Amino acid sequence: MDNAHNKPSPSTTSDVPDDVIPLFGQQTPPSRPSKAKIAYDIALLLLLAVDLVLILADNILMSGLANKLAEWMGFSHLLGQYAVHYHDDISAIGGVFTVFWVVELSWRWVRAIIKKTYFRWFFFPFVHWYETLACFPALRALRLLRAGITIKRLHDIGVVVIPKKWIKSAQFYYHVLLEELSDRVILTAIGNFRNQMEYSQTHQELLQNTIDKNRAKLEAVVLDLLKKELTPKLQSAFLAHTGTQLSKNVGLAVEQALLDTPELRKYLKLIPIAGSMIESQITHVGRHIGENITSAINAHLFDDKTLDALMTNVAHGIANIDTTHPQLQALVGDVVDDALTAFEAQVKTQQWKHKEQLHL
């Protein structure tokens, strides 16, 4: 029973220590470490700074570029004295630092095994891979990564190592550099795409492939737009004022046609007395027949089922449009060119020059 109570919970065993790189974007609020831990991190950070400065200075002074500059500026003898008298000492100090980092990492590994920090004892070098690799002389540059992580950890707990103004300035110039580089890449890609559209058949193939792959979706979108926008307007127009006026016009046309038929008048004149009355009634009935027929035709043509069938056929015809039509290709080319121009103008706008971006 005691073992069951002392067994760590799953949440405890799955926690990642705060001295490693967060995996998969994990953001855990940092806990306040002890003063000894803070002092230890600061001391290691100072040693890392000394080690990195020595490595950088030695590599620069022993480089071919430094030799060329020394010959050009006339202090090659000083560089030669450094190579003879100090280079070996600096290399020896670098070796001492390497041994120190190996010992420090091994000590922390032993402590992690004793405290059972990880689920398996051999997990430590994989979790702290950047520190493990930095122990090799050829990969000493990774010690800069460890220094950066240590600085971030100290900043998270409120220990300011680098002034915030310097950090904001560095972030600003980083975003400036990133924006300028990305803008150049995007503008180059836009220029290449313009050339392909102008001097090749790329836009024709693009248009044809795009429409062929999305004909069903295009038909559905066009049908939905026609039903929502065109159908109500047609029904409201022809079943109201326009439809009524059309019925009256057709009725009057039928009445006028009967009046303009000489054969009808000829035969009605053969009927004494009642001929003129019959003629009046026939024209009146003809006018009403024309109005009723027109109203019936309107009601049938603009019925929901009839319009749905009509809109379906129209949408199907639009979706199966001929992509090789020259005017269509010219229209698509103009639309794409306008879109590229607008996008190019947006890319050319240097966002870092806006006042709200200048937090220096």
Rounded distance between C-alpha atoms, residue 287 and residue 157, angstroms? 94
Q: Where residue 11 falls among pLDDT bands split at 50, 70, 90?
A: very low
**Could you report the per-residue pLDDT of 239-262, keeping only the tens digit for each?**
566 666 666 777 777 767 766 666
The torsion region of residue 136 among left (phi > 0), alpha (psi -120 to 50) and beta comes to beta
Residue environment code for 319-357, b if the CB has 16+ CB neighbours within 10 A, otherwise e: beeebeeeeebeebeeebeeeeeeeeeebeeeeeeeeee
Output the pLDDT for position 105.
Answer: 92
Tokens of 323: 């992509």
d(CA 90, CA 95): 9
Cα–Cα distances in angstroms (integers) from residue 104 to residues 40, 73, 284, in the given order: 11, 43, 113
pLDDT in tens, 180-194: 888 888 888 888 777
- In this predicted structure, which of 5-14, 28-37, 95-104 has the lowest mean pLDDT? 5-14
Share of the chain above pLDDT 90, in %: 5
- Residue 271 near residue 281 (C-beta atoms within 8 A): no
Tokens at 161, concatenated: 């190592």
pLDDT attached to residue 27: 47
Task: Give residue 279's pLDDT.
Answer: 62
d(CA 67, CA 90): 18
Any idea which residue has 């069951």 for tokens? Answer: 4
Any idea which residue has 């603009």 for tokens?
Answer: 302
Residue among 227, 236, 211 nearest 313 (CA): 227
Q: How confident is the model at residue 275 (pLDDT cuts 50, 70, 90)?
A: low
